[in-house]
Amino acid sequence: MSDARKILKFDAAVIAQNAVAAATAPPDAKRPLYRDLPPAADYPVAPLGPLRDAAEAIQMKTRAPIEICAQSVLAAAALVIAPRFDVQTLGGNSPLTGLFLTIAESGERKSSVDNLALAAVYLKEKDLAREYEAQCTAFHDDLTAWKAMAEKAKKKNSRAEIRAALQENNSEPKPPAPPMLLSGEATAEGIIRQLREGRPWAGLFSPEGGQMLGGHGLTVDTKTRTASLFNELWDGRPVRSLRAGTGTTFLPGRRFSMHLMAQPGVAEILTHDHGFTDIGLMARLLLVSPASTAGTRFYREAPPECDAVLRTYKARMRELLDKPLPMLGDSGGLDPVVLTLDHDARLGLIAYHDTVERELLPGGIYYSIRGFGSKMAEHAVRLAALLTAYEDGDAVEVGAVALERGTKLATYYASEMKRLADGATIAPDLKLARELLHWWQGRSDRKCHLAEIYQYGPNPLRDAATAKRIVAILEDHGWLKRLPPGTILDGSSRKDSWELNT
């Protein structure tokens, strides 16, 4: 059985039993509001290859889910490696940029994981900040001198003399690039400005992804523009912009990676909006939604080997950060080295591509996530190249072993995308009904009236019309029974009141 079939298998017998039970249940029996999502498959840690030790060491130090640790080291590696390497794919060359989304509840130690995964990047920013102060002083002195010479040049007698004097004075000095490599929230315009005025590579990383998902960059008016920019940067296309306020922008050779961590409700801004699927952003995302480890993280010292592993990881990341960037002439853009595929890796990628392609047909495993499925081969080879470049900064090609790692990771990410995409089809009112049911079950009094629900119940039900609509769903599913009009609750006669079914 293929990896995909193993990951996405379901118990047909159980589903059939449930269907029979629902068909033969008495009319007043409680019926489930919806079927819970199946649990996520185990993260394939072994295919992380050279990044496996770092991910597991972070997991031992933080006790966070391994999925979060794996996401963080992969995203950090993409941030650092993408400015230096591209990879040959079946459809041309692709950048190694990554767009990662981690969905996890509060308290899953997302910040602790990020601090360890990005430690070398934070240190690099500190070094750049120190250099920036000295560069600013030199820039202001140079600019003052340039302006003085420009004024002197303008006092020449003829246009030709002025032109010659200005050319001799060279072009106006440019300010140094700000030291910031990472941001936690940005608009499309802000990202373009950073890539234009700062360095030709940047990252959007945040353990509090709600800043971005609920911020100005993804409002109703801006989300299409922001998502389109993410697509362009993931594809490696030049940034092109023509706006009244900022003029014309053409930025070839830019690299941008992202890793946002967000709570499930916040992440739905992205995952439940069909517009992001239609525009192609979801096809480019690598996302995980691990089960919580809360309640199982009893204190224990991490093995001392963890510190040694993380020192090695940090040193390797710093080595990559300090390598000179391959630049694209005088454009200010990057010209990454292209990793080619060796013979066996290319054959393996073709086989994987064709296997996935068959499953995009109606009835296939990936039919419901065709957009992502169409990019699985590219995800696989990009991940393979990322691991190759991390392991060997002087690599020139991707081998079959690395390609196999990439295909296993891509298959896992497809299973998560499919699992969460299927969950996105659950009607919002059913989710509200589940929330109200949990609130009601937590009360000591099994009886409740309408005003009590919209005054003290879950926040989304704080108006009478919404509360009444959601109560009707619970009543229809057999979880509530209506009490006669005039029932006395809280010392008053109530028109609309219900009792939780036992």
Strand, coil or helix: 395: coil
How far apart CA 92 and CA 185 sit, in angstroms, is 32
Nearest Cα to Cα of residue 356 among 401, 404, 410 = 410
- The encoded tokens of residue 68 equal 């979060």
- What's the predicted TM-score (pTM) here? 0.81
- pLDDT for the residue 165: 66
CA distance 446 to 499: 6
Please give the DSSP secondary-structure letter assigned to residue 446: S
> Domain holding 472: CATH number?
1.10.10.10
Which amino acid, 121? V
328 phi, psi to nearest 5 deg = -95, 85
The domain total for the chain is 1
The reply to whether 228 falls in a domain is no
Q: In terms of DSSP H, where are the helices of 154-187?
A: 159-168
Tokens read off for 234: 């993931």
- Tokens standing for residue 444: 């000591």
The verdict on residue 438 lying in a domain is yes
In a domain, 481, yes or no: yes
How long a stretch of residues is the chain? 502
CA distance 408 to 400: 12
> Do the domain assignments include residue 471?
yes
Amino acid in position 295: G
In a domain, 2, yes or no: no
Using an 8 Å Cβ cutoff, are 284 and 270 in contact? no
For residues 361 and 419, what is the distance between their CA atoms, to the nearest angstrom? 18
Q: Which two tokens stand for residue 91?
A: 């459809």
Range(s) of the domain holding residue 455: 428-500
* pLDDT score, position 470: 95
- Got the DSSP string for 303-318? PTHHHHHHHHHHHHHH
451 falls within a domain: yes
| Cα 232 to Cα 94: distance, rounded to the nearest angstrom | 12
The confidence score (pLDDT) of residue 25 equals 42
410 within 8 A of 337, measured Cβ to Cβ: no
Which residues are CB-neighbours of 277 under 8 A, at least 6 positions away? 283, 371
**Buried b / exposed e across 114-125, counting CB within 10 Å, b at 16+?**
bebbbbbbeebb
Q: Dump strand ranges (E) for 305-387.
A: 327-328, 333-334, 337-341
Query: Minimal CA–CA distance to 370: which of 356, 349, 382, 352?
Result: 356
Residue-wise over 29-66: b if at least 16 C-beta within 10 A, else e? eeeebeeeeeebbebbbebbbbbbbbbbbbbbbbbbbb
Sequence-separated (6 or more) residues with CB below 8 Å from residue 355: 2, 4
Give the pLDDT of the chain (502 residues) as one tens digit per residue.
455 554 444 333 333 444 434 444 444 578 888 777 788 899 999 999 999 999 999 999 999 999 999 999 999 999 999 999 999 999 999 999 999 999 998 889 999 999 999 999 999 999 999 999 889 988 888 888 878 877 777 777 677 766 776 677 677 788 888 899 999 888 899 999 999 988 999 999 999 887 888 777 787 778 899 999 999 999 999 998 876 566 688 999 999 999 999 988 888 888 878 888 889 999 999 999 999 888 888 888 899 999 999 999 999 999 999 999 999 987 789 999 999 999 999 999 999 999 999 999 999 999 999 999 999 999 999 999 999 999 999 999 999 999 999 999 999 999 999 998 876 666 788 889 989 999 999 999 999 999 999 999 999 998 999 999 999 999 999 999 999 999 999 899 999 999 998 7
Judge whether 118 and 75 are in contact, CB under 8 Å.
Answer: no
**Type of residue numbered 89:** T
Nearest to 433 by CA among 454, 461, 455, 465: 461
The predicted pLDDT at position 335 comes to 96
Measure the CA–CA gap between 99 and 121, rounded to whole angstroms: 17
Q: Is residue 441 part of a domain?
A: yes
* SS3 assignment, position 342: coil
Domain membership flag for residue 359: no
Rounded CA-CA distance 259/293 in Å is 21
